[in-house]
Amino acid sequence: MARRAVSVAVVALALLAAATAASADSWLYEKFTTDGNVRADYNAEGQQVTSLILNQQSGGAFRSRQRYLYGEFSIQMKLIPGNSAGTVTSFYLTSGDGDGHDEIDMEFMGNSSGDPVVLNTNVWANGDGKKEHQFYLWFDPAADFHTYTIIWNDKNVIFKVDDLFIRSFKRYRDLPYPGGKPMSVHATLWDGSYWATQQGKVKVDWSNSPFVVSYRGYTADACVPTGGGDVGAPLSCPAGTDRWMNRQLDAAEWGTVAWAKKNYMHYNYCDDGWRFPQGFPAECSRN
């Protein structure tokens, strides 16, 4: 009887520990609203794993309840295995969908089986976009989780994959920069057949659906505008903000940017003369 009581107590403690761990990592519904096909589960370590699901009827998305002005935003993702052509998976920040919006994008453009996935990075400022750097990923993003990070401050926007910095978009005082509008965090999975793979030549093969992308380990170390989040409102920032507010790349980190550009860059808007027949954007000659 005593042994049974001990066993019951051990099981109860294990369940309590698992519930506590899950509660501590329940980021989806506490921090985001959802739309479409979204599922939330927990792994063996108590981490919440959120899945976005795409079928022929609908995709999936989640959007942060809070808006931010500068910060470091990070999430772990496991992308679609096999033939993901035509699909687009994203992790991005945006001030909205209207004219004059700001946006910082990490978009993963699916590909046919065996071909590398393309990561599209882009920066929009006051409705001015067309600043894409695209990279072939140097690993299989569907085999395991990898960490994708956006660092945004008043000096630059930095993109990071795992421990490697791949791009820094620098601020110039006389050029558009996403520095005045609070932005919310979004993740989406959708049908981008018209654009995503080989400029839209390869469409989604719906016989492979449903397509699933998994997210976990979300963090936002960021400033929050007070007073309803109006432009120019005072900011409420976490302690130790300097760890990202003044973050710029050092020489070694610029080395990883050069490595990614040399070995894995698929597209650079500053090399696309057909797109800019009247001359390249001004920052292209200053970087």
- What is the mean pLDDT of each successive set of 10 residues along the chain, which is 287 residues long? 42 41 70 97 94 97 96 98 96 93 97 92 94 97 98 98 98 94 97 91 95 97 81 84 95 98 97 95 91
Looking at 25-113, list the stretches that DSSP marks H as alpha helix, in order from N- to C-terminal side.
Answer: 28-31
Residue 107 annotated as catalytic = yes
pLDDT digits (tens, 9 = 90+) for 3-15: 444 444 433 434 4
R_g of the chain computed on alpha carbons? 21
pLDDT of residue 228: 61
- Model confidence, pTM: 0.90
Task: Kindly give, in sequence order, each residue whose CB lies less than 8 Å from that of residue 164, ignoring residues fewer than 6 positions away.
Answer: 256, 259, 260
CA 67 to CA 82: how far, in whole Å? 35
Peptide bond into 182 cis (omega under 30): no
260, two tokens: 């990614």
Catalytic choice (30, 45, 72, 107): 107
Residue 253 annotated as catalytic = no
- What is the sign of the dihedral through the CA atoms of 121, 123, 127 and 130? negative
Catalytic choice (30, 45, 72, 103): 103
What domains does the chain contain, in order, with CATH numbers?
27-271 (2.60.120.200)
CA 80 to CA 213: how far, in whole Å? 6
